[in-house]
Chain A
Amino acid sequence: MTEFGLIIETTNMNPYLNEHIQALVQPDRVHRDIYEDPALFDLEMERVFGRSWVFVGHESQVPKPGDFFCTRIGLQPVVMTRHSDGKVYVVYNRCAHRGVKVVNEECGNAGRFMCMYHGWTYDTNGDLDFVTQPEGYPDHEFDKVKHGMGRVAQWGSHHGFVFANLSSRAGGMKDWLGENADFLDDVAISAPAGEVEITGGVHRYLYHGNWKMQVENLIDMYHPAYSHESSSAKGGQQFTRRGGDKGGIQFFEKPGRVKSMDGLGTHALPNGHTWQGGLPPVENNSDDHREYVRLLEKKHGPEKTKDILIKKRHNVIFYPNMAMQELNPHIRVIRPLAVDRTEILIYPVKLKGAPEQMFRDQLINLNKTHSPTSLVQTDDVEAFARAQEGIQTSGNEWILLARKGPEERFNSGRIRTTGTSEEGMRNHHRAWLKYMCGET
């Protein structure tokens, strides 16, 4: 096949055929192009972010009718709204007329959305409300929905966590979530009120690297002893970062030893989701924690409460764009900006009904660990930028993801293996391949 033939066979000037893409992801390594080729990035926006379910926001961000929250799916601006019917909608943030972004504030409340350019006005479910000076369109019939801002193909929520899918041919949200739904159940039940709320602001930071580097890093238990050496004292004691910590948690025994990390385990799920086993519990004798336990016991009894308090997972990835952690509960949104630019947004998750002081401590801990001035994330950001630079070399075109441990397979499709195994990353790339080369 000639180069010329290749190009005319594919649509929108995409130079990649599926067989080329498949060659980039091998069982134990991936090609550097997936992190640095702008053409592949464009394809990812269309096929990964356009075909997978993607985290949009949480219903608590739009509690009242007329509330809206602007975000993106891939590079596409969308608005999550609460309409007058009380339901949540996810609509494209685009005027049906000339394509202008309609809603320009990140969040707020509105009776209707009016486009700044020619005044076309929409309901908070995205339907066209009216066109200004309609007599100028004698040959054009306007339809509320067809000429609305446009709803995304599918959306749904689980415990208020809203996910959307731009493809009408994709399977349902529940199937996509799989066992990650159990995690959201665990998070919700750990709130004495049985539900969580997104509040307390947002940490946002930038890095000069590909978005997939953050996905990989989140389930990388191999790196902390080296990347984060500066944030731990002798013996691996880190600074205090959760309730009950005395001199800080035993983050790793000492540089070079990763045995304790292996014990935590990595769990690779279908659709690219991955989670790590929870960190060992610490005894917490603070008044707030005792009150928290009392509230849970009142509702669930001591036996169930004991189970709720055991954190079974550390980072949980909802592939491709969200991760959540129960240690100082927060959501991390991964927002690709360009092939080598990524924005991270960290939203605190409040356990409703828990003592207020617990949330205040949680926020202070998140300043230490997840802000642009963090003692931890800043070293990850440095690693991503140096990786983005390092892979420009032509001496070696491959990124090695061969690290392994004993594997156990479950009926759900989940694979459990060691904490420092790179199985989680291989799992992401398998999902990536599925979306990139799949039909939906």
Chain B
Amino acid sequence: MSVSKPGSDDFLVLRLEVQDFLIFEVGLLDDRKFEEWTDLFTDDGYYWAPATPDQDDPQSSVSLFFDDVPMMRTRFARLRHPRVHSQIPPSRTSHMVSNVTIDGHDATEGEFLIGARFQMLEYRPGHEQRTFGGRYEYQLLRRAAGDFQISAKKAVVLNCDSVHLPIAIPF
């Protein structure tokens, strides 16, 4: 599929497809369907939340999250553990995703570069509710209409370089 000009019907349909997928994707996190969320990633896919807004590489400095698929599985297996003390009681989240833009398309790879803005409310009983927000950058593979795989998801959180209490759920 080629990306038509902004404003064309094709483009609008694609943007809505992507938007629906992103709404579905972050909804899995809010519904605590972490394993299903992990399954959205390609085998070599990764999730990255930089520790500074200008961090351009997850390998030359530390990150809030930099998970490949095996690490996601380890992370979420722990969240399912009956004695995961730092998540008893667990955090509840509400993700919102908007301002979706189609920023690029690699026809040979079938990969789309997607931008979006997000907000995540997080509340763990007994603690102050927190608000995180910022920019998402995705690399999505389109397998069929409305059917995407994530080869990369990057969440640049506005206050990523602040000092944080523990964070359990991906942005």
**A-to-B contact residues, CB < 8 Å:** 199-208, 227, 229-231, 239, 343, 346, 348, 360, 363-364, 366-368, 370-375, 377-379, 381-383
Contact = CB atoms under 8 A, between A and B. Distances in A.
Residue with the highest number of chain B CB atoms closer than 10 Å, among A205, A343, A378: A378
Nearest to A348: B62
5 contacts: A199-B61, A205-B165, A205-B166, A231-B78, A379-B86
B13 interface: no
Contacts of B78: 230-231, 375
B130 to A, nearest CB: 11
A341 to B, nearest CB: 10
Contact of B64 (A348, A364, A371, A382): A371
Contact of A201 (B55, B74, B86): B55
A203 B64 CA distance: 8
Given A206-B164, A348-B62, A371-B62, A383 B85 contact: yes
Residue with the highest number of chain A CB atoms closer than 10 Å, among B65, B81, B84: B84
A343 B163 CA distance: 7
B86 A200 contact: no
Contact of A379 (B55, B60, B85): B85
Residue with the highest number of chain A CB atoms closer than 10 Å, among B164, B166, B167: B166
A239 B74 CA distance: 7
Contact of A204 (B74, B84, B164): B164
Contacts of A343: 163
A392 B95 CA distance: 36
A370 B66 CA distance: 12
Contact of B51 (A203, A375, A377): A203
B64 A372 contact: yes
A343 B62 CA distance: 17
Nearest to A344: B163
A206 B163 contact: yes
B166 A382 contact: yes
Given A372-B167, A379-B85, A202 B51 contact: yes
A109 B141 CA distance: 43
A382 B23 CA distance: 32
B76 to A, nearest CB: 11
Contacts of B52: 201
B93 to A, nearest CB: 13
Given A200-B60, A201-B52, A206 B165 contact: yes
Interface string B85-122: 11000000000000000000000000000000000000
Nearest to A372: B164
A378 B86 contact: yes
B59 A372 contact: no
A373 B168 contact: yes
B83 interface: yes
B85 A367 contact: no
A205 B163 contact: yes
B63 interface: yes
B163 A200 contact: no
Contacts of A202: 51, 62
B60 A363 contact: yes
Contact of B74 (A206, A348, A375): A375
B33 interface: no
A348 B59 CA distance: 12
Nearest to A382: B86
Nearest to B63: A367
Contacts of A383: 85
Contacts of B64: 367, 371-373
A388 to B, nearest CB: 13
Contacts of B1: none
B71 interface: yes
Contacts of A375: 74-75, 78
Nearest to A201: B61
Nearest to B50: A201
Interface string B40-64: 0000000001011001000111111
A360 B168 contact: no
A366 B81 CA distance: 22
A231 B51 CA distance: 23
A49 B60 CA distance: 33
A203 B71 contact: no
A227 B162 CA distance: 26
Contacts of B162: 204
B164 to A, nearest CB: 4
Nearest to B165: A206
A378 B161 CA distance: 18
Contacts of A368: 71
A381 B127 CA distance: 13
A-B pairs, top 4 by smallest CB distance, nearest first, are A201-B61, A230-B81, A230-B84, A378-B166
A383 B83 CA distance: 13
A203 B50 CA distance: 11
Contact of B83 (A199, A208, A230, A360): A230
B61 A200 contact: yes
A422 B74 CA distance: 32
Residue with the highest number of chain A CB atoms closer than 10 Å, among B62, B66, B71: B62
Contacts of B63: 367, 371
A377 B161 CA distance: 18
B62 A372 contact: no
